[in-house]
A = this chain, B = another copy of it.
């Protein structure tokens, strides 16, 4: 395979400051330091005394060889193993992209947004709600590519019209041909993962050594709470580590259902599961890029339905952040909503959860846009509406100017009482780019708004995503990169694809 230099495309005119963000706020705390330490110790004790079930023989053998006590599939992991894994897990690593301008340094204090993921369905006001297919996945990737505030790709909606043994080809080709952002790969078994790595290396022209030297793609590793690591997830933890690719460890702990009903108890479980996953990952290759993480909320105790944007989700995020700081690792959190419609509930819950991740100092915020129905649907109107919030946060990441010029003394004394600042020199020098233009918000007064059709944000969002898709141009080099793997995919397809493991 020829090693190709990645080209840095000319500026698209978009705001570069949205691409690389650092948290504007100090992370908050809801537990005292000693309680966080206690939760950490309880998680270690849970792993040591009661263990976690692992459904993959290779993973069990590896853990056993390194000191874990195994009984059938129950694996008891001692604190010294966890401590060693936390010693080797990197506090900082690079997430790479086809476009070097979209590479990301990942470390505590950075802020990255990832679109809604894991959605079987897709919905928009033109085509309705329907199972995801390859065409809608391609459109979703076009939207992900269209906004700089989205920092990596996600695998939603699921292209269910493609057979599962061939789906990883289609998803990867779609990402590579339409985007230059960091790629995502499902960990659905070794065969699919290794083929995906091979395709990425070829498409991006990355030599084997370079590939394993930093994270060119990532996957989400969900534990099955409580305390179960299934076969594809265990394999994914090992395979991604072996290849130096990024495993994003994410217990999904719903307090009151698959986790204790208390925030503290749910966090102990989440922490134990995450530590077990990180331990397996680091045993394969110490120093492999890995994100600690959690996606916690509560269920409605009457119906059992997952709830989002709740006080408990926000508290679990902040507690997760404290645990992440306790072990010194970057980590992922998530926004979310249970709403079925593009309505105030959807916006409120997503916003509440999003601000929770900001309070928590999350390094990577999943489901940052487009998520509806607790993740069962990726909505295009919701997607572009959420982008408005993410751009607001991104602009907040830049502190306001505080130099003497910004203080505006000359303007302040040049305008008499009752006057205005529209034509002061300070205003004239800045008015073009002082404030970000709203993406979707309509600021006109009621009369003007009615006269121009009285459209809601949802209706305007339809026009916006349609325009974005109509205007879409693949980024420079993307089609070439996709071309480079076309025959490889043909060959792999002819060879029968790669089996999914459940």
Contacts and interface: CB of A to CB of B under 8 A. Distances in A.
Given A426-B260, A427-B261, A449-B340, A418 B228 contact: yes
A417 interface: yes
A28 interface: yes
A87 interface: no
A413 B260 contact: no
Interface in A247-297: 255-266, 268-269
Nearest to A348: B347
Interface residues of A, number: 123
Interface string A365-392: 0000000011011000010010011001
Given A311-B396, A345-B440, A413 B373 contact: no
A16 to B, nearest CB: 16
Interface stretch (A4-12, A143-151, A192-200, A403-411): A403-411
Interface string A289-308: 00000000010111111110
Interface string A425-464: 0110011101111101111111001100010111001000
Given A347-B344, A352-B351, A260 B408 contact: yes
A242 to B, nearest CB: 25
B305 A443 contact: yes
Nearest to A356: B396
Contact of A300 (B261, B312, B415, B435): B435
Contacts of A388: 345, 348
Contacts of A259: 421
A265 B407 contact: yes
B413 A340 contact: no
Contacts of A373: 445-446
A13 interface: no
Contact of A418 (B30, B224, B454): B224
A74 B416 CA distance: 10
Interface stretch (A32-40, A90-98, A132-140): A32-40
Given A42-B409, A344-B344, A400-B262, A226 B441 contact: no
A401 B264 contact: yes
Contact of A228 (B401, B417, B427, B461): B417
Given A25-B28, A434-B298, A443 B307 contact: yes
A69 B129 CA distance: 69
A477 interface: no
Contacts of A344: 342-344, 346-347, 382, 385, 440, 456-458, 461
Contacts of A110: none
Given A400-B315, A413-B50, A443-B303, A421 B342 contact: no
Contact of A301 (B306, B342, B348, B434): B434
A83 to B, nearest CB: 21
A340 B256 contact: no
A421 B28 contact: no
Contacts of A445: 305, 340, 373-374, 376
A424 to B, nearest CB: 7
B305 A412 contact: no
Contact of A389 (B25, B298, B348, B407): B348
A399 interface: yes
A377 B446 CA distance: 10
Given A264-B406, A396-B314, A406-B262, A434 B226 contact: no
Given A307-B443, A339-B442, 16 more contacts: A24-B30, A31-B402, A52-B417, A226-B419, A261-B427, A261-B430, A262-B401, A262-B407, A265-B411, A265-B426, A310-B392, A340-B449, A341-B454, A344-B458, A345-B456, A348-B351
15 contacts: A25-B28, A32-B402, A257-B420, A260-B411, A260-B421, A262-B401, A262-B430, A264-B408, A268-B412, A307-B438, A314-B392, A343-B458, A344-B347, A373-B445, A374-B445
For the complex of A and B, 5 pairs with smallest distance between CB atoms: A265-B408, A347-B347, A260-B408, A351-B351, A53-B417
